[in-house]
Chain A
């Protein structure tokens, strides 16, 4: 062994000396004396059926996903490249912003031609919606700009027409939107108001003499801002505006305005400016819009909730403006669902790359004359990546569950969807950012190369923590909803029903004082701990708020002052909701290796959540010894998940071409002969 090492060192040294003049072209580097890439598949075996696990994670439309992956791989529009003997498809982010926007649009038209968007707006029902979700997710794995552009066109513009509009709008716009004869955008956010939609300043009035609405931007802070597709491509806009009828503000309403003609010229009374270069998503043409008393036909009010008759009379089926506002915004839930699911696919991408790399890259020897150690064989490296992997698994299952509830939504489930999707959107997108950062560092300098994706994705996905509702505000929304539920149940002296709060009707679970390994891995214990945490935080939050209210503070202000408890509560709620979906999924599996490994993953998820949250220790539910036990168990689970790491990322079902060169033979990819 040592003789071999000596020889190898001599070779390496000789190579250095030989290489000091640039090598002539026929001098091939001899791979035997340098580091060799060894594919992880050679040394790691799959301990469970990866195909079955993928079915669980992707959840639905696997064949359609694979079709779309293939559709992108086989077209030259998707920047196919061969690196190190493998084909990769990934956008050329070195293109200018303008080029990236143009190529994104071309890619969309190619997908359109191949029927990818068929039925995205004109078909209804769970099957059609799941198909749309699946294909949308695949687009995001290729490039988030691509899916953001589709999101604006189909989920914002298209769904607004579908949900806020009535028959006349559906007939006029939906099919044309699906065929891209109309290119839509969604003008809601303003310079002065974003997440607080109710405060927007754009004003629309009605002119009965011509039967037209007049949309106006009264001040600079009312300019529409960040409007995706507005800078270049959209010719129609959904405009969210205050509606003023005879001097009375009827609140926020939704209108359709044409902003460009068929040749792409900006319409009169509309001004558009570019938002410029961004830290990511440069394939999306975000713009700013000003309306200078733009006139639109009366029929362009999307009138599912309220209407203005030709004489100017305002009519609405919902009298209370608060409820009306809620009805307007309810359909936007689908945006949060898709953001949460695409965040998880981004984490999968980052982890697949980082874990594959850590199974082929070595660094440092433990002792002299020993071979260097594989990155993922370091307990510290396991601790960095495997808990994030477990969380990604849990969240992937959770967001699938949310999708299923969403596509089968009823009037009864709408509230739960609203609350759960808010929590999931925030927690999953935060998780994604954290995961990407960890993966970037875990692959070292290679993570800085755009072609390796993990580092670059941070810029592309960062926006998710802000758009469709700022994460912090969404989390407050969750705890406010829980607060309201609690107060209402107590007031009416009724049992808790919905939002997963039924456990509050039973006596408080009692945790054992000694936490053994088998206790910690027991699903009932995990469930109890999560319920106890949620219950305790909810009771503390409500009593603190009540106390302040008792001292004469308003409810709103009392809630604001308790923002720390509010944050802890909404996090506890969301993490518990996620755990519950994993337990449900696990229960449905037949006995076997998939179920066993998922059990390990679930325990890792539960325990890492406990380890990262000091509130159980703070409020005395876990002792110092207990949290020490939790911490030790996390490390033990790392060791037990380590042999499954490759299979766990293979189960993500992301084709090799959508990962990156460091996930495969990175020696060959970087070889002189590959230049």
Chain B
């Protein structure tokens, strides 16, 4: 089974089990998780859900190649269904009335972030590697990332979302993406303790987690020490202005980190960068449901491919041919005009009726106490 289920009194432990693919979330896994989460919410005997991954990844992303196949074959609606179900799952997690503890002992990227960050507790370890690498793939940080990235301190979210920068466990804890840091050697004991939880009150879970948590030092070269530069540059109005602000910083004080950052931006899809920045900026002012509905609109435009086919190209260059040399179209930022960006945020006009993502109202009263603290 691609999702393993363990029942320990009031606790359910779900393990993503596709280790060869680094637990990339496929259609079936998403449906299964959705089904399980809804069932546990209804089941009064379940108090806590633990989510973790088999092997060296928590979850390295969504299973994109089949989706891109749909797209190439002109069946983009099938691919859109994948995102619809995934975002619905993200929404259930974000408004869940019971505590979700995600143990991020390894790679957490894209869809993996969506399946964990919206939950109440996120445990990082010394093995955690976090990134939202979508702009390098011709996509944009989705799965509700415009909600959680935009709520990070200052303009760190723009930085993480646009550059695909990798964060370690200590950095995740520092910026709030993780709520706790537990050394991997203590995870077994922590899990055993968590299994004793008999209430869905998050404060009890919190007490247990607090007993295990450590406060790791940021590495000396940690990018989190560069928050001042990040805030100065990534607060700018446009992607172009962000890059020129970084270049100004680089001329004043050349350093590897800034140059790497500029390179990452210049290597990413110009379309992706522009829609990602707009998405994060809009997300900052919206609730999680609104963010997912908007992202669904955006991803449908990406899938439909009438504004850009960068996702196909990115997928080829990174995942299939692995030449890491995508040919983006439009090639330059200045060719990606505002009126094209605007279109990603509009309804999809389609002969066969296209509908907005429908999120059923949830009792978010209780959820507001349990929801992720970001």
A85–B120 Cα distance when bound, in Å, is: 14
Which chain A positions have C-beta within 8 A of B235?
71, 74, 114
Q: How far is the CA of A176 from the CA of B278 in the complex (A)?
A: 31
Chain A residues positioned under 8 Å from B281 (CB to CB): 63, 66-67, 70
Q: Are A63 and B368 in contact (CB under 8 A)?
A: no
Chain B positions within 8 Å of A114 at CB level: 235-236
From known contacts A70-B150, A74-B154, infer whether A42 and B361 are also in contact, taking CB-CB under 8 Å: yes
Task: Determine whether the beta carbon of B368 is less than 8 Å from that of A85.
Answer: yes
| Interface 9-mer from A31-39, A167-175, A330-338, A387-395 | A31-39
A42 surroundings in chain B (CB, below 8 A): 361, 364
- CB <8 Å contact, B154 and A115: no
B278 touches A70 (CB 8 A): no
B-contact bits for A300-328, CB 8 A (1 contact / 0 none): 00000000000000000000000000000
- Say whether A655 contacts B285, CB under 8 Å: yes
CB closest residue in chain B, given A50: B290
CA distance A64 to B281 in the complex (A): 10
A452 → chain B closest CB, angstroms: 20
- Pick from A36, A73, A115: contact of B284, CB below 8 A: A73
Q: Which of A39, A113, A655 contacts B364 (CB 8 A)?
A: A39
Q: Classify chain B: how many residues form its interface, as a range.
A: 20 to 34
List B contacts of A400 (CB < 8 A): none
**Contact A69/B365 with A75-B154, A115-B236 known, Cβ cut-off 8 Å:** no
Number of interface residues of A (CB under 8 A): 25
Q: Which residues of chain A have C-beta atoms less than 8 A from B241's C-beta?
A: 115
Could you tell me the distance between the alpha carbons of A85 and B368 in the complex, rounded to whole angstroms? 7
- Closest-CB distance, B285 to chain A (whole angstroms): 4
Assess the A668–B368 pair: CB atoms within 8 A: yes
Q: Is the CB of B365 within 8 A of A70?
A: no
A665 at the interface (CB under 8 A from B): yes
- B282 interface residue (CB < 8 Å to A): yes
Separation in Å of the B42 CB from the closest CB of chain A?
Answer: 19
A36 to B363, CA, bound (A): 12
Contacts of B150 in A (CB 8 A): 70
B-facing residues in A269-317 (Cβ within 8 Å):
none
- Which residues in window 572-627 of A have CB below 8 A to B? none
A70 and B236 contact, Cβ closer than 8 Å, known pairs A39-B365, A85-B368, A668-B368 = no
The docked-state distance in angstroms from the alpha carbon of A115 to that of B238 is 11
Task: Find out whether the CB atom of A63 lies under 8 angstroms from the CB atom of B278.
Answer: yes
Of B232, B282, B284, B338, which contacts A113 at CB under 8 A? B232
Give the interface centre of A37, A115, A656, A657 by most chain B CB atoms within 10 Å.
A115
CA distance A63 to B284 in the complex (A): 12
How would residues 100 to 112 of chain B score, 1 for a CB under 8 Å from any chain A CB and 0 otherwise? 0000000000000
List A residues 50-82 near B (Cβ within 8 Å).
63-64, 66-67, 69-71, 73-75
Q: How far is the CB of A549 from chain B (nearest CB, A)?
A: 58
Beyond known contacts A38-B365, A66-B281, A113-B232: 17 more, CB 8 A cutoff: A39-B364, A41-B361, A63-B281, A66-B285, A67-B237, A69-B285, A70-B150, A70-B284, A71-B235, A74-B153, A74-B235, A74-B284, A85-B369, A114-B235, A115-B236, A115-B241, A665-B368
- By a beta-carbon cutoff of 8 Å, the part of chain B in contact with chain A is 150, 153-155, 231-232, 235-237, 241, 278, 281-282, 284-285, 338, 361, 364-365, 368-369
